[in-house]
């Protein structure tokens, strides 16, 4: 500690210094001190789990003009730069030591070369700003699932988003710091130069680099949450490697409770690429959501159990309306903390594509001041709200959240669901013959047509193994083998495949809420209460059962 005391004290007030040193963790102090030396902030603020520190972060995002208040109490809006609206795969890379190997299909750069590049971009990036030090936890705190995380950023919007999306982790650091093998994930983000709207200016120099040897993610010249909220998909890449070493699984899945006959509770997890119905499935009316994006699986007391990694939802808002998404619609229209991003704002009210209300012909959006028909900087006519516009809310604000969603032991998983965007091939629902059949023919071979959630052409059919292809940090073969071999000695969940997007003559053949029927059928199947037809590539429902369920 003594090596860093003078440096830390020179940048922090007494309260922040005391919060940091109370953790009594040399690795934490070292990471914070290096960020100070590299980024050269004017001041450093350290946050704890207190409500006061969470409120400070939220207010700072407003004071810094990274967010603006809206008409409804607690609602704010954030804008990303025009070209900073989604994950950018080509600049998201693994740092791989010269003497090590990583699967050749993964985007990577030699570690020392990559470190030199990104640290060169981050050097001095905090000048004139306050550096924020925040502590969060992936998975339920005080549990076998818990992974402590240290986020360093100069963006209050990033830290505010994490306050909604993740469990507070300062006390978890205290709890685990006494362990000689204490390991935590580290994230260092620099917004970079900003324009007059406080959005990252030099997007062509955006970098997101992952040093898996140090459990560290570094990003620069970006604000989009998928690139900067370290505990999201960036941490998933680190968790996949950690799970590989320790014998558990980290998956890109929702978790939900499907309510069966006579009050029966059945738990399902599902992997769907972005904008393919994952959140909508987890939010089906009449069922209960546990989480919409990330799940850790472990064997606990002889059971296959899964835990929601997160504390909230960072969801795509396009096509959210009162008929198809009543719970989310309600949260987005009542007082409480909500961060809207990249929607249209007119007179303090947010508007987005596919909502109930008529959208105004002008306002402020991801382009700046917008009028209908205007072109964006790339010459393309700009939609009023971006197709990948988002909302950020807390689990505790959802009326259909499972009251036991934060269970420290997770939940016993009855079924696993794999689904993608497939316009002409797969049936709406089918059941695998076995765990191995499901992993191989529904998870490992999952294909999906691209959407606005990633940069590039839409509608292109891509292979997306278990909806995790973008986030793998090892070879596909090893990742699939880990799934095949997991929990071999216990009863494993039934595996299902779904497809909500089959079309004929350009029209969808099912409605948005039909997914409720497929989930009800799966719930009955895992308990052996309905029969199925062998369709040669899995089992499908009988007509009379679907007829009854649709009624």
Alpha-carbon distance of 467 to 472, in angstroms, equals 10
Alpha-carbon distance of 57 to 60, in angstroms, equals 5
The DSSP string of 485-548 is: HTTTTSPPPEEEEEES--EETTEESS-GGGHHHHHHHHHHHHTT-S-EEE-SSSEEE-HHHHHH
Alpha-carbon distance of 120 to 110, in angstroms, equals 15
Question: Which residues are 351's β-sheet partners?
Answer: 344
The DSSP string of 414-480 is: -EEEEEE--SSS--SEEE-SSHHHHIIIIITT-EEE--TTBSS-SS-EEE-GGG-GGG--S-HHHHH
Q: Length of the chain, please?
A: 551
In this structure, how many other beta carbons lie within 10 angstroms of the beta carbon of residue 101? 9
Read off the tokens for 506: 């350009």
CA end-to-end span of the chain: 67
In this structure, how many other beta carbons lie within 10 angstroms of the beta carbon of residue 335? 10
**Which residues are catalytic, by number?**
276
Angle at 327 between CA 276 and CA 58, to 5 degrees: 90
Residue carrying the six token digits 């409500």 = 51
Distances (CA, A) of 515 to 41, 196, 419, 497: 50, 44, 11, 12
In this structure, how many other beta carbons lie within 10 angstroms of the beta carbon of residue 364? 16
Rg of the chain taking only CA atoms, in angstroms: 23
């Amino acid at each position: 500690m003594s090596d860093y005391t003078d440096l830390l004290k020179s940048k922090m007030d007494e309260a922040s210094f005391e919060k940091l040193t109370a953790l009594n963790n040399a690795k934490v102090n070292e990471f914070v001190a290096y960020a100070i030396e590299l980024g050269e902030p004017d001041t450093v603020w350290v946050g704890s789990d207190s409500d006061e520190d969470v409120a400070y972060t939220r207010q700072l995002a407003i004071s810094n003009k990274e967010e603006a208040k809206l008409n409804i109490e607690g609602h704010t809006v954030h804008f990303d730069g025009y070209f900073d609206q989604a994950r950018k795969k080509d600049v998201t890379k693994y740092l791989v030591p010269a003497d090590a190997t990583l699967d050749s299909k993964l985007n990577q750069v030699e570690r020392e070369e990559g470190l030199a590049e990104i640290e060169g971009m981050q050097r001095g990036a905090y000048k004139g700003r306050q550096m924020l030090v925040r502590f969060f936890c992936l998975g339920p705190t005080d549990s076998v699932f818990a992974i402590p995380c240290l986020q360093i950023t100069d963006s209050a919007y990033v830290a505010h988003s994490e306050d909604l999306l993740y469990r507070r982790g300062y006390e978890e650091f205290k709890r685990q710091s006494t362990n000689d093998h204490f390991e935590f994930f580290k994230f260092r983000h620099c917004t970079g130069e900003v324009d007059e709207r406080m959005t990252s200016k030099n997007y062509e120099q955006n970098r997101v680099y992952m040093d898996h040897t140090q459990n560290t993610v570094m990003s620069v010249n970006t604000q989009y949450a998928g690139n900067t909220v370290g505990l999201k998909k960036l941490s998933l890449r680190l968790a996949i490697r950690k799970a590989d070493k320790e014998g558990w699984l980290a998956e890109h899945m929702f978790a939900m409770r499907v309510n069966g006959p006579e009050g029966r509770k059945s738990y399902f997890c599902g992997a769907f690429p972005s904008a393919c119905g994952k959140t909508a499935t987890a939010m089906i009316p009449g069922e209960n959501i546990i989480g919409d994006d990330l799940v850790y699986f472990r064997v606990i007391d002889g059971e296959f159990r899964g835990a929601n990694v997160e504390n909230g939802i960072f969801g795509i808002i396009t096509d959210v309306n009162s008929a198809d998404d009543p719970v989310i619609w309600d949260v987005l229209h009542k007082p409480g903390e909500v961060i809207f991003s990249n929607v249209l704002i007119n007179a303090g009210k947010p508007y987005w594509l596919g909502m109930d209300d008529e959208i105004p012909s002008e306002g402020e959006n991801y382009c700046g001041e917008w009028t209908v028909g205007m072109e964006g900087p790339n010459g393309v006519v700009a939609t009023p709200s971006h197709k990948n516009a988002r909302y950020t809310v807390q689990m505790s604000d959802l009326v259909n959240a499972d009251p036991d969603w934060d269970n420290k032991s997770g939940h016993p998983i009855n079924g696993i669901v794999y689904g993608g965007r497939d316009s002409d091939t797969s049936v709406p629902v089918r059941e695998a013959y076995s765990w191995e059949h499901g992993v191989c023919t529904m998870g490992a071979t999952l294909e999906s047509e691209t959407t606005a959630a990633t940069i590039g052409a839409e509608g292109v059919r891509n292979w997306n193994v278990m909806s995790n292809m973008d986030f793998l940090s090892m070879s596909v073969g090893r990742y699939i083998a880990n799934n095949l071999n997991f929990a071999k000695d216990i009863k494993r969940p039934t595996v299902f495949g779904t497809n909500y997007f089959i079309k004929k003559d350009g029209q969808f053949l099912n409605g948005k809420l039909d997914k409720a029927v497929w989930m009800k059928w799966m719930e009955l199947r895992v308990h052996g209460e309905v029969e199925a037809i062998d369709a040669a590539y899995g089992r499908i429902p009988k007509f009379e059962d679907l007829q009854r369920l649709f009624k």
